Structure formats: structure tokens, C-alpha cells
Structure 1
């Protein structure tokens, strides 16, 4: 599970957290039902926004009861279903297919080995074909998404030192805009398509910039391509573009007619702002955690574990990052979720990328709802932005 929108459970009211979890589980189950068990590994936190946007525009809410799941503590839950969850699954699968193909083309990590590359190509083609069939059922041409993603390679080849970061982020913006706009079609609100496309462009820009900033140290160490390194853009310049895009995203969402926009507003306004500040405020773009994996030639010994760390804190962070394939990465992700590492460990290595990630609740400000907002003392969310569930 990955993405820039990672809300802390304490920063959402009980109702909104239940809705958010319902969309996440609905996306996971939609991937399983339409594309098989293996497809569930592409479940991601940003993809559920597609499901949330579709439901927010619909007058009726489609939910079903899902069975016990280890990631929910073996509890049942009401999860999202219908066209929104299916669209989120389709978009997540087609983008994962393109990313997998990109790793093979670049020969990243284990993908440089022929057997691994051959298997990855097979999985990518299968995912792309299944996503295309699902997209046709939903009226979405996934070729638009793939063309935008594959156009990224041409942009990366053409970009030179001194080039614009916005040129690099444009393919991601186009793909996200198409996905956001199609939620209006499925919800029967065609008038929302244009402002949602604009919101999608800004969200895609933010996601690309934050991903580039988080990866810059590891990409510098491994010699991988990175937008900041390729264009020579500074950390501050990326921050300005991200914050400007967040302001544009807020304005675009204000023009969208929603039946119930509380969760969408919380995710795409407040949580996006938190993600930007989490990435840029007080961070050092050259920072990278020390190598702590012992027993390998040429690497320093394992330092003492910090106080409060778990006894099951495995795997360790490495430099260069230790990448993992889809199946092993899924197993590591399950282990890290079950041992609470993604919540309580800071930093923890990404299950697939090996890159250091910030623990969800290690730097959580559960009462911060933005400079322009007043926080409800009962449910700890914004009153003026129509997020509050209370009558106080």
C-alpha cells in the first residue's frame, strides 16, 4: 500500500475514518473480484480517492459487508462497492502495469535479471489487458492513461538540466485528470467533469513532486533518474510548485457539486496540505538513514537499536535500497502491517522500493486542520470547512 494521502486515524472523526477504510477495503476487494488475488498488491491509498470522489457525487451510497481480514484485526466492515470501487481498481491496475513495465525497461534492481524481467512483463501485459476490459465496461478508455504514462519516458529522455519540473509532471497530470473526470461521468454529473479534471491535474502534479523529493537521496546514490536531479531544480522550487498546486486543487474542488463532500474535502484539502508539509517542512533533501543491515560484505556493522523500537523491526533500511519483487514485497508488507511498523516505526523501509518512509503516527498532529480553520473540540476536525460531524 502506497500513496501520499495517509491520514492518521486520530485526525479523522469516527464516521470519516470508517468511510475512508471502507473505500480502501472496497478497492482491495474490487481488485480481487475482477482481476484475481495477485492484483490486490496494487491496492494504494491514493487510488481510493477515485472511489471516494464517485460516491461523494452520488445521492445513494453503495456498501456491502466484507468478511474478516487480518489487516482489520479479523473484523468485518462495511466497504464501498459499485462503479466507484471498480473504477479505482481499474485505474490502479493500469498504472501499476505501466510502472512494472517501466521498471523492466530500466532494468531496476532485480528486474535486471532475465527471469524476473520476463515474469514481470507477463504480469504487466496481463494486468493491462484486464484493466482494459474493465475500463470498457465502465466507459473509460485505459489507452488514454497508458499513453500519458508511457509518454513519461519520452519526457525523461528529452529533459535537460535547467528544464521545467512542470514539463516532467505533465504526463502524470494528464492521467490523473482523466481518472478524476471520469468519476463525474459514472456519477451522472457531467458538469463536474471539467473542475474535476483540473483538480486531477493539480493532484497529479503534487503526487509526482512529493515522490521525487522522497526518492531524491536514494536516486542520487543509485544513479537512477529523478526529476530534481535531471532538471537541477532546488528543493525549495519543488515546494513552491507543490504548495501552488494545493491552492489550485482547493479552488477546483470548490466548483464541484457534491452530495456529501466531507471525506473528499478532508483528503484532498487537509491531508494533501499535511503531506506537503510532512515532505518539505524542515526536511533535508540530502538526508538518508544510515546503513543498518549487518553481515554483508563492505557494509558497516548494525548500530544499536533506538529506544522504543520493536523486537520485530525487520527488514532494516539499506543504502542503496533493497528492492523486492511483487510477491516477496507483498509478504514483507503484510509482515510490517501485522507488526505495526508502518505506524510506529520511523523510518521504516518501503516493502517494495526499500526507500525510507515516515511512520504514519510518528509525526501526527491530530488537532491541526489548517491555518484558516477552526477545530471542533468534540470530533477534532474543521468546523468552517463543513467537515464537522457535531452540532456543537
Structure 2
């Protein structure tokens, strides 16, 4: 999370326990702004969409919101009309408690698919968390409340000064450990900022930052029914309104990129059962698009990821993944590096020490570089290794808890 947390002005954040799936774990989380916000969002491209995704997309049509309500312990996906009615009731109950419009409430859920929310507990939880508004914010409680198989809460914040010397803060809170793959990568992410910005520019900034972060992230190649990235901007910083791509907009974009990229790295590091954070770098491709396509393909390869778990310097698996990526290549030009150690030169074995390669691959953070020597395009994708604990966690997800083999991953 970092040693210092910058919270935007005019926001309240908290998380509590309501007993949705666990009598001890926090499972209801709230973000509330003192004033209505400019809002934007990105959602799963999975054709099976959870009820809160459908309702939040509908509520975002006017580009404004004032609160975000999240629950863990139940995805409220594949729950038909009842699931939709439950989400509508959650929005209505929270709006009544906070004195805001129902349409200004955005919602998100995470947990097991195909189960109904225990609405009596949810309603009590909404009343309970609404009563805490006005107390000091607890962003760490919010981050804990949205976790499922995550092992660590994920919070990143940054601040900067605008041209008229106003301090702007950006704070992002996310969950994600499994079912991670573009687009968006399976996750929930909530970003708050006190900048004064036009809604079209906020949406543009969010899309740009997501492409460089969450859309460059894969854990296991699966996308979820519930993926949501939501951002609220309440204007409390007092900066001059941003209506165009000026210097303040560029500073905001750079800092939003940093927040979301930091969250993406935390998610990759905390992949279910993961022991290593891995960066796949493809450079000198014919284009940036082809570079990203190849990097995603390599990062999704089970053979590559299991070799990384075993610290096995089997670069042949990388060559195979490169060749099956669908990107046009010249195999006799390809160089591969583990960190700074070159293991392949022009598609053939380089002169290197396998012991040194093994030592590099045993590190907790690994960078693999593929140089295609065909153009100027480049891309970086984040992933992790594939371990026995990943299989164990996902073989009994709906029957938590599971016994972990290596100690990685998390419990519900």
C-alpha cells in the first residue's frame, strides 16, 4: 500500500461486516462523496454480466454518481430477476439512508456465482455502514471488505499540484487475485479524486490508464462476470475546471496511470497461489498492437507459467509461445533475456550459465524480454507463475476454506 496515503477531499470510505458469507470478515464497503461527482466506468466484456454490472452501467448514463456500494461473499451473477431486484433494493436503501438519488448509487459484487444475496443481512449492513458516515474514513477497512481470495488489501494513492497550485489527490482501491485477464482483467477497482474535470475527459483518462494497466494484466486467462472499474471526481480540490487536454489534464493522466499501474502490479503479485511477479516485455515488434498481442499470449501460457514456478530456464517454451501467438515474426532474429541475461540469440542458444538463469528465475520479481528486431513497437504485460496452490484454491472455491499447499493465495 505504501507508507503514506493521500485521500481526496470530501469523500468518506469504510468497510464493515454484515455476515454475508463469513461472520468475521468485512463484506460491505462504501464510498460516499459530500457532493455529486462526475463519474466514469469500465466493465467486463464477458457476455454473462452480473446484476450490479448491468445496473451500474445504467446509472452511469448521465456521467454522475455520489456513492459506491460493494459487497463480497456473493457475486450476484446468474441470479435472474431476483438478482436484479436485489441490486435495485440495495441502491434504494442506501440512497434513502444517505439522502441521495437512487440513480447516483453505483454497485459492485464479488464472490461465488449463482448464489442469491442474503438480503436481510445486506439491508442491515447498509444501515450499519450508512450510520458511520461522518466518522473518520477507513480505507483499509474498505480494501479488506472487497477481498475474496486476495491475501493483501490493495490501495495506491498519489497527489500533485495543478497550475493554480491546488493539491489534487487520487486514491485507488482494488481487489483481484484470480480470473484475471484482459479486458479488463478480472477485478474490482474504485478510484476517487477531488479534481474538477469534465466527464468526457474523465472517461478518456480512465480508458487510457486501463489500457496501460489492467488491460496489460493476466493471471489465468479467464474473465469474470463482475469486472468493474469505477472513478468518481467531486471537484473539491478547487482547481480550474479541466475541459481540454491542458497541462493539468496531462498531470492528472500521468498520476492516474501511476495509481492504476501500481494496483495492477499488486494484483499480479497477489495472483492466486502466486509466488512471483512476472513482467513480459516484447520490444522491437512491427507495431505496439502486435507486441501486446504477443506479450499477452506468452503471459497466458500455462507451460511458461509452470516453468516460471519451477525456476526452470526452459526458453524453448517461450519460443513456442512466441510462434503460436499469431504475430508475424522471423524466428532467426529473436533474442530472449531473463533479466539482463541473454539466453537466446537470433533464435538459437546463447552462451550463458544455466545456474545463473535458474538463480534469476528464483527471484520474487522477474522480467523476461523478447526482442523481435522487426520494428519499433513494444509492450509490457504483467502476470505471475502458476502453482499447485492455484489449482487447490480453484478446485474448491465454492466450498471455502481450502488447505493451501505452498502458503500462497487466500481464503474467502
TM-score, normalised to structure 1, is 0.31
Larger Rg: 2
More helix, by proportion: 1
More strand, by proportion: 2
